[in-house]
Amino acid sequence: MQSELSPDPDAATLLHVGIIMDGNGRWATRRGLSRLRGHEAGVEAIRRVVEAAPDQGVGTLTLYAFSSDNWRRPRAEVSALMTLLRFYLANEIDALVRNGVRLTVIGRRDRLPDGIANAIARAEAATADGTTLHLRIAIDYSAREAILNAAVRAANAGPLSRETFADLITGETGLRDVDLIIRTSGEKRLSDFLLWEGAYAELHFTERMWPEFDTDDLADALASFHRRERRFGGLTSIAPEVVPTL
């Protein structure tokens, strides 16, 4: 939940940013390239953003790589995306460890092709000690399904607060709510991404296609975020300890 509650003053200022990485296909077809080339260029953008995020005050970065609705895409594209994901998980480990990145994957694993669940487990284990950035990649992810699964588990769990229910949704203890959701390519939708964690997220929509998104675009999105006044339902920013437990 909100890290303002954290006793660690540094952790309290590090933001959780979510990105809906949209526009790979359009970027590629406008250049006469295959959609796969767009997704490959999208991986380059991921590298740029992961490297730049900690210096821009981001402590947690959640990237929407494959939604549960993306299974509806042509089989060849799904298969190409899965191959890219497997390569990324296998080949990126050294760079992630070197940069202090802890990788976790959210979403279903039981429908992923052979090898991917193992690649995820290996990448998560290898990067478990990273403290510079928590990188969360959403694969076969649906926020509604995450909330539904948590509700099923909560049914026998006795009384729950919002915070403990959130832990059931995210699979983590005390994950910070998402502060800012960025969507590229001009589309203005949440598409079943972080619906609980993003209840008070600021939204930033940019025309930039994901393959061309760079560190300046991330800085622009964060600058726009810092100009907003976040009231969390109050009249002005208010210290969380003043708010009674609901």
**Which residues are catalytic, by number?**
22, 70
Q: Does residue 78 touch ligand FPP according to CB under 6 A?
A: no
CB 168 → ligand FPP: shortest distance, Å? 25
Spell out, one character per residue from 40 to 59, where the chain touches ligand FPP: x when CB under 6 A holds, - when not. --xx--x-------------
Q: What contacts 138, CB < 8 A, 6 or more positions away?
A: 62, 63, 64, 65, 66, 67, 105, 106, 107, 193
Neighbours of 220 (CB within 10 A): 15
Q: Are 185 and 215 in contact (CB under 8 A)?
A: no
Pick 22 or 202: Cβ nearer ligand FPP: 22
Binding status of residue 61 toward ligand FPP by CB under 6 A: no
Between CA 46 and CA 26 the distance in angstroms is 17
Longest CA pairwise span in the chain (Å): 57
Binders of ligand FPP among residues 153 to 212 (CB under 6 A) are 185, 210
Mode of pairing for the β-strands spanning 180-183 and 133-141: unpaired
Exactly one of 3, 14, 19, 25 binds ligand FPP (CB under 6 A); which one? 25
d(CA 161, CA 144): 19
CB of 67 to ligand FPP, least distance (A): 7
Task: Name the residues that contact ligand FPP, by CB under 6 A.
Answer: 21-26, 39, 42-43, 46, 65, 70, 81, 84-85, 88, 137, 185, 210
